[in-house]
Structure 1
Amino acid sequence: MAKIRVNRVGEQIKKEISDIIQNELKDPRIGFVTVTSVEASGDLQHARIFISVMGSEEQRRETLQALERAKGFIRSEIGKRIRLRLTPELSFHLDTSIDYSEKIMEKLREIQSGSEESS
């Protein structure tokens, strides 16, 4: 039962953080950010937010730094929007699964084009 609640709260946090990043933050360093997932601890005191950023490695690093600086504001907004006894401590991490899947798709395209040329 507790795991279901943790997952629901994690999904709500994901939705609210996406809204906060898109509509509330005005930092120009924050580029096109997608919140891909949120992993909340069992006691809901910590939340790991995984983000995907479109752009170069430097833009990703700057976006991550800007989100780290805005962490207090984001946490206070979450506290206002979601009724929890304790607002979770946030940590932002880059989600590299999209990059990984893109590399796999590129390899598959290379294999497919190679097999078409040999036929």
Structure 2
Amino acid sequence: MVTKVLFFSAIILAGSIVSSCEASKTNTSVSNSAAKQATPSASPPAGPSQPQIDNAARISLADAKKAFDDGSAIFIDTRADSTYKLEHIKGSINIPAGTVDANMSKLSKGKKLIAYCS
């Protein structure tokens, strides 16, 4: 009996993980492309809940980490404050997406700004 419960629990857990991964794949286009210094690539048309990001610069994860580690970049978490409080990149600052323009004075001049939302 215990074996059956453990087996079904494992199947449910595996199914949850797979569905979470699939759901996150659909939401990674913005987060994986939070910034990149190369020429901007074409993005799909913005939907009602997706801001226009066609002109956003892109950066690889490795380059973003290097710039952050050497102090030449700042990570900006653009999610809601409540989500930021649950989990965020250590050292990042929280400026929700709709308030970035109003909070520009909080940002260090001369540093790369690397925004992320997941």
Does the pair score TM above 0.5? no
Higher helix share: 1
Higher strand share: 1
